[in-house]
Amino acid sequence: MKTRRLKGTPVIAADPRRPRAADVRWAAAVILNGGIVAVPTDTVYGLACDPRNALAIQRLYSLKGREPKKPLACLTAYTEQIMALSDLVPEAVWKAAKKHWPGALTLVASKGGWLPANLSAGMPTIGVRYPNCPWIWELVEKVEFPIACSSANFSGQPPAVEGAQVVRDWAGKIDLIIDGGRCELGRESTVAGMQGKALTVSGRARSSFKGECHENFNARVAAAAGLGACG
């Protein structure tokens, strides 16, 4: 794939479904050295960094103009890797993960105390997703740890779903851009977490699963988790 530089930032043209080992190694090295990489996912583009590096996390917040009270999520390369981020995963979350991952579902679990406080905006929980994107799988495997990720847009702006938009907005500001063209789904993931004993959807009124309304999705996730219908 072709590599170019814009405003000093390397831009790698890539196929999200067919990652090249050399490109993945480059992105992993940037992240492990405290840098920020724009990456394509199955949903929208993200800005990725090392979730163990408080300074990298702070830089990501600053670049986006993101409010410190809004936590970052993390991406994994397989379901069980959630345990690298959480010290307590409810059974309902496990069941939903095994049913719907890899895919456009972010699940909220208890954040491990070994991770920086600013990763989760000081909250005791963390959002985790196993995306349906081989490029991310390979990157996480090379980093040997999940990656922190926030949508690749300035705070208050719509998420980026095209590589050209990411290049336009972030060239000269971050350390590496992976241009994978248009994201497959083109919308943010659905977020689900525990409310009491129920696993329920929060945030957007429509889920990323075939555009169904969140009430239907609540019931479907709950059924997969063995909980019956959620409110």
pLDDT digits (tens, 9 = 90+) for 41-69: 999 999 999 999 999 999 999 999 999 89
- Which amino acid is residue 187, in one-letter code? R
Tell me what pLDDT residue 206 has.
Answer: 39
Q: How far is CA 42 from CA 7, 129, 185, in A?
A: 27, 11, 6
Tell me what pLDDT residue 199 has.
Answer: 84
Q: Mean pLDDT of residues grouped by 10 in the chain (231 residues)?
A: 90 97 98 98 98 98 94 97 94 92 95 96 95 98 98 95 98 98 94 84 49 45 37 25
Q: How far is CA 170 from CA 76, 111, 154, in A?
A: 24, 29, 10
CA 141, 158, 52, 69: dihedral to nearest 10 degrees?
-150
3-state secondary structure of 138: helix
**Which of the listed CATH numbers 3.40.50.720, 3.90.870.10, 3.40.50.1010, 1.10.390.10 matches domain 3-192?**
3.90.870.10
- For tokens 């790698």, name the residue: 12
